[in-house]
Structure 1
Amino acid sequence: MALLLSMALLARPAMAQSILRDAETESLLNDIARPIVAAAGLEPNNVQMVLIQDKEINAFVAGGQIVYIHSGLITAADNANEVQGVIAHEVGHITGGHIVRFSEGARAATGISILSLLLGVAAIAAGGGEAGMGILSAGQQAAMSNFLAFTRTQESSADAAGASFMKKAGISGKGSVSFFQKLRKEEFRLSSSYADVDPYARTHPMSADRAAVMEAELKTDPAWNKPTDPALEARFQRVKAKLAGFVQDPKVTLIKYPESDQSIPACYARAYAWHRAAYPDKAVAEVDKLIAAQPHDPYFLELKGQVLLESGQPKAAIAPLREAVERTRSTPLIATLLGHALIASEDPANLAEARTVLRNAVARDNENPFAWYQLGIVYSQEGDIARAALATAERYAMTGQPQLALGNAETAMRGIPQGTPDYVRAEDIALTSRQAIADRKRR
């Protein structure tokens, strides 16, 4: 049982944590990953970067072509190149099919565990209680050692693949090496004595060893001393600051980014910190500094609209959000925020625009429950109860509530003409929801 529990902990489900959605951050992560993904022979548009709210310095893949990155990794990284090194490693897991092959290591370890269980029980039954327990304990230890050796091999393989992708993409490997050195310091901080850490009782090779191997591999590459594009680095520093302002205690952020620092990242961080601390006037003052420096930056406009909207000024939020949507070519997350502001203005004249904006948003990104919720409100206020029910069914299906999804899908089907795309979609939701309910009952 201990072996199986350890395996379960290694396969970390992303949905057990909070996913952070931010248009600027997602755009940055996709841009810094694109050359690496292409160098790996994958289609960049098919590989998704997902940000998880978790202070731990970590990133992982959990199936498919999705790289999950912890917010703690972004805040710990000094530069964009370090994050690129981590992404290259995770892409190495994807190309190596390591999640699929995870079961190979599990089967081998489980086989050892079962064999030791049978031998131990036989020894106990024959009267050798202590010997039987010894066999059981040794078998568990052997099974775990076998499994950990398997995962370390996978990690080393991903390191090598990541290094090859960095070289092929013409990106410096300095970030990979420096980030492993950071992890080494973290290992030292978490252990009472670094010398006492057993390298064979770990899922990953020791970070010091990984850093040495990577440096030997990458230091001779022509791109080793190639600097990161300054514009890309500036975007990273902005995102790092705004993320700190969003996830950290506002008091911590305001100490880290004092008023004496009038740089764009510092103003960005303070704007989020003041907003989270419920000081909208101070937050707007920081955003206005940003807009004065870059008047048409869509993400600064988005933040101003967000602060105004969430502080009870939806009408004032509409203008900056409209410009932000226009300048990002209707990025779905920002468009959803505009739709929300239009609805919250309580002006019936804004409903038609809200419906158009939100329909476009869900057409381009249908995995945003809040967008479906807002669209359902529009339909309900317009008296289109069937499509309001369909939007609600989409939201419940997405959030894992099949019983509620089914009821709303059936309501939608009673009011939408058969054979239309909306009717077919409601039918699909009803079918999958019934199956999900049946599966839960069987379990």
Structure 2
Amino acid sequence: MARHGTAALKKATAAACAGALVLPLVVAPAQAQRGKLALVRDAETEDLLKDYAAPIFKVAGIGNSPVEIILVNDKSFNAFVPDSRRMFINIGVLMEAETPGEVIGVVAHETGHIAGRHLVRLRSAAANAQIMSVIGMILGAGAMAAGAASGSAGAAQGGAAAALGSGSIGKRSFLTYQRGEEAAADRAALKYLNATGQSAKGMLKTFERFAEQQVFSARFVDPYAVSHPMARDRYRSLADAAQKSKFYNKPAPASLQQRHEMVKAKLIAYTNHPNTVARRYPRSDKSLPAQYAKAIAAMKSRSRGAIKQIDALIRQQPNNPYFYEVKGQSLLESGNPKAAIAPFRKAVALRPNEGQFLIWLGYALVGSNNPAVLPEAESYLKKGLQRDPNSSVGYSQLAIAHARQGERAQADLATARGLMVAGDFGAAKRYAARAQKNLKRGTPAWLQADDIVSYKPPQLKQR
């Protein structure tokens, strides 16, 4: 029975998690498949952005607010804030920026919009509104899953409310601001950078590029420049104020610059063909970021030397958890989940509260096909999902762990949660309804299933 349940669950979750199970950079599949906004998950990149943002958020007075930075799988230079709780940053920002200051400047500018409580403008395209509505539903579904995992019915219901409210979010504009609001965000960004003892040179460099783009045809202009109009007089005003700061010529700490280069190399390697990586990081480049990019490119091309290259990185930085994560993922991708357990355990030992590491370890344990470790796998997956409730990978693996232990109702519920996160609400409702029939009424699990069964996606009006 457990074997049959596992097969059914694998089939059900395949569509929701296709392409996201073994890639270190996990793209939210539902949006990618539907041509909508594709989201990326990577612990190293997210940790860097959090460190960039933390001092900015603090001086802006939003340090105690749960502002989440979300990565978008788009190589264009763009960032936007839909509300006071979320900031979306394209991976292109990190890939194009040469220094941490360029990224920090973007974060500071967008923080100015959040702290300034600027009103957002209506989008002209309904498709863009639908994109944001999907994001709201996904994040709301994640909140529901987190509530159920913690045994809090109230938290689960709160998540449902957040998801249901996403329709109104989707009707608003997140890229088209009034010039006055943009200028106010500029001034706020300069204030934050000065208050944190950081240079505005990076932000100025970014905006200078946008100002220069205005002389070209709109077809060649970066979307960020279009949505954030940068007239020459506005740029000069910004430059004058930035250059007066005593921190203007202060470089970023060497350690932060190194982390930026490592993340940049990682993103370039994961999002480009190995040949492109080889041109970007030639053999003559022996730097650690170059080695990182080459190791990831080798992994992507299924090279036998990939593990050897990753081990060389580990020898240089034996306490770098992200190197162990990449090694574990390389072993998973090569079809050896049992061998992946050890590097994932090391990553978790170094960063015990990183949800993505916990989920990957649980995934490797499930994939090892050892019934004796299934309870341990379940434990790691649940801990990981409490910290990272938007992981469809985590839910699919938890479903398999439950099914192999003969826990069919729990397996169906985990599948339903994963499908909700993936945006497949119809399938999620079917699995939740089946789970409900075999769960005790009124328990946290039953209430979670009931929330999913009762969920109604917001109806968007075409504009």
State TM-score, norm by structure 2. Answer: 0.76
Query: Which residue does 1:383 correspond to in 2?
Result: 406
For residues 247 and 64 of structure 2, what CA distance do their matches in structure 1 show?
Answer: 22
1:193 offset after TM fit, Å?
11
2:101 alignment partner AA: N
Q: State whether structure 2 residue 191 is matched by structure 1 residue 164.
A: yes
> How many angstroms apart in 1 are the aligned matches of 2:231 and 2:94?
18
- Aligned residue for 1:213, secondary structure, equals helix
Return the offset for 1:212. 2.2
Q: Deviations over 1:160-186 (max 9, x none)?
A: 221122122221111111122233455
Q: How much does 1:255 deviate?
A: 1.0
Tell me which of 365, 377, 397 is aligned to 1:354: 377
Of 223, 237, 254, which aligns to 2:261? 237
Distance 2:353 2:289 in 1: 25
Q: Is the CA contact (8 Å cut-off) linking 1:151 and 1:203 kept in structure 2?
A: no
CA deviation map 1:306-347 (0-9, x unaligned): 001111111111101111011111411111111111111111
Aligned residues of 2:210 and 2:230 also touching (Cα < 8 A) = no
| Distance change (3 Å), C-alpha of 1:60 and 1:104 | closer
Higher alpha-carbon deviation: 394-403 or 67-76: 394-403
Distance across 1 between alignment mates of 2:230 and 2:39: 29
Aligned partners of 1:88 and 1:166 also within 8 Å = yes
- Indicate the RMSD between aligned Cα atoms, in angstroms: 2.9
Separation (CA, whole Å) in 2 of partners of 1:329 and 1:186: 45
Alpha-carbon separation, structure 1, partners of 2:302 and 2:176:
50
The one-letter code sitting in structure 2 at the alignment partner of 1:376 is A
Between the aligned partners of 1:104 and 1:90, the Cα distance in structure 2 is 18
Structure 1 residue 397 displacement after superposition: 1.8
Deviations 1:7-58 (A, max 9, x none): xxxxxx9992221100111011001111111111103561111111111111
**Code of the aligned partner of 1:270:** K
Higher mean Cα deviation, 343-352 or 22-31? Answer: 343-352
Contact 2:399 2:414 in 1 (8 A): yes
2:421 corresponding residue in structure 1: 398
Contact 2:198 2:248 in 1 (8 A): yes
SS in 2 for 1:49: strand
Segment of structure 1 superposing worse, 350-359 or 159-168: 159-168
Q: Decide whether aligned partners of structure 1 residues 33 and 399 sit closer, same or farther in structure 2, where only a CA change above 3 A counts.
A: same
Which one of the candidate residues 229, 248, 260 is aligned to 1:224?
248
Q: Which amino acid aligns with 2:40?
A: L
Can you list the C-alpha shifts for 1:91-116, whole angstroms capped at 9, x where unaligned? 11222233x4425999xxxxxxxxxx
2:381/2:394 contact within 8 Å kept:
yes
1:220, 1:410 → 2: CA distance? 63
Q: Do the aligned residues in 2 keep the contact of 1:180 with 1:208 (CA within 8 Å)?
A: no
Superposition TM-score, scaled by structure 1 size: 0.79
Instruction: Specify the alignment match of 2:202 in structure 1.
Output: 175
| Structural mapping, 1:185-204, within 5 Å | 185-187=212-214, 203-204=227-228
Residues 172, 226 of structure 1: 8 Å contact kept: yes
- Pair 1:267 & 2:286 matched: no
Give the Å deviation of 1:282: 2.7
**1:246 and 2:270 matched:** yes
The alignment status of 1:55 with 2:55, answered yes or no, reads no
Partner of 2:318: 295
Deviation at 1:226, TM superposition (A): 2.5
8 Å CA contact 1:152, 1:203 repeated in 2: no
- Which residue does 2:341 correspond to in 1? 318
How far residue 231 of structure 1 moved from its aligned partner, in angstroms, is 1.7
Counterpart contact for 1:152–1:202, Cα < 8 Å: no
Percent pairwise identity:
37
Is the deviation greater in 177-186 or in 228-237? 177-186
After superposition, the Cα gap between the structure-2 partners of 1:149 and 1:34, relative to the gap in structure 1 and judged at 3 Å, is: closer
Instruction: State the secondary structure of the residue aligned to 2:360.
Output: helix
Provide closer, same or farther for how the CA distance between residues 403 and 261 of structure 1 changes in structure 2, counting only shifts above 3 A. same
Whole-Å separation in 1 of the counterparts to 2:214 and 2:386: 45
CA contact (8 A) 1:30 1:49 kept: yes
Matched residue type, 1:178: K
Query: Is the 2:353–2:387 contact (alpha carbons within 8 Å) kept by the matching residues of 1?
Result: no
- For residue 180 of structure 2, the aligned residue among 153, 157, 176 is 153
Structure 2 letter corresponding to 1:154: E
**1:188 offset after TM fit, Å?**
5.1
Letter of the 1:179 partner, please give it. T
SS in 2 for 1:16: coil
Per the TM alignment, residue 357 of structure 1 is displaced from its structure 2 partner at its CA by 0.5
Residue among 306, 311, 324 paired with 2:329: 306
Cα drift, residue 272 of structure 1:
1.6
Counterpart code for 2:37: Q
Distance 2:298 2:306 in 1: 5
The one-letter code sitting in structure 1 at the alignment partner of 2:105 is G
- Give the number of the structure whose residues are more often helix, by fraction: 1
**Cα contact 1:406–1:430 (8 A) shared by 2:** yes
Identify which of 212, 235, 258 aligns with 2:236.
Answer: 212
> What's the counterpart of residue 278 of structure 1?
302
* Structure 1: 5+ residue stretches without partners: 1-12, 107-147, 195-200
Alignment length (residue pairs): 378
**Greater gyration radius:** 1
Letter in 1 for 2:306: A
1:78 to 98, 119, 141: 98
- Return 5+ residue gaps in structure 2 as ranges: 1-30, 126-174
Q: What are the superposed Cα offsets for residues 144-169 of structure 1, whole Å, 9 maximum, x if unpaired?
A: xxxx9962222222212211221222
**Aligned counterpart, 2:355:** 332
The answer on 1:258 being equivalent to 2:279 is: no
